[in-house]
Amino acid sequence: EVQLVQSGAEVKKPGESLKISCKGSGYTFTNHWIGWVRQMPGKGLEWMGVIYPGDSDTRYSPSFQGQVTISAGKSITTAYLQWRSLKASDTAMYYCVRGGIAALTGAFDFWGQGTLVTVSS
């Protein structure tokens, strides 16, 4: 059974750093793109970026380029989303998603349960 299990909710202050995780299981981790989607409170879905764990090829949405870092540890089948300096506007639910097998354009067929990040002074 394919599963994406994300790390727990976080409460941080502005300016702090954060790294959240997403552990994949039940499939060959290195064969599928894995990505991140943001959902701000009461708002829609926003694609942030994806990584191909097989070769670490990473693509970012222009809206998030330079704001976050996406990485993956293929030996531990885990993807990460990292911020160096959080802002209040980063408060949102973050979902990891499994993308296509090799193909970048494949649908997001499995989603993690979400990690709620709250940034408040």
As measured in angstroms, the least distance from the Cβ of 111 to other proteins is: 4
Report the candidate in 106, 100, 117 with the shortest Cα–Cα distance to residue 13: 117
Tokens read off for 31: 């064969």
- The verdict on 24 binding other proteins (CB under 8 A) reads no
Please state, in angstroms and rounded to a whole number, the distance separating the CA atoms of residues 5 and 43: 23
Tokens read off for 93: 């639910």
Question: Which of 54, 100 has the CB closer to other proteins?
Answer: 100
Report the candidate in 118, 95, 120 with the shortest Cα–Cα distance to residue 44: 95
- The verdict on 12 binding other proteins (CB under 8 A) reads no
> Do 50 and 35 contact (CB within 8 A), yes or no?
yes
As measured in angstroms, the least distance from the Cβ of 45 to other proteins is: 5
- The verdict on 53 binding other proteins (CB under 8 A) reads no
Footprint on residues 59-98 left by other proteins (CB under 8 A): 59-62, 95
Tokens read off for 77: 């089948």
Question: Which of 13, 40 has the CB closer to other proteins?
Answer: 40
Question: Which of 4, 86 has the CB closer to other proteins?
Answer: 4
- Three-state DSSP state, 43: coil
Q: Which residues bind other proteins (CB under 8 A)?
A: 35, 37, 44-47, 50, 59-62, 95, 104-109, 111-114
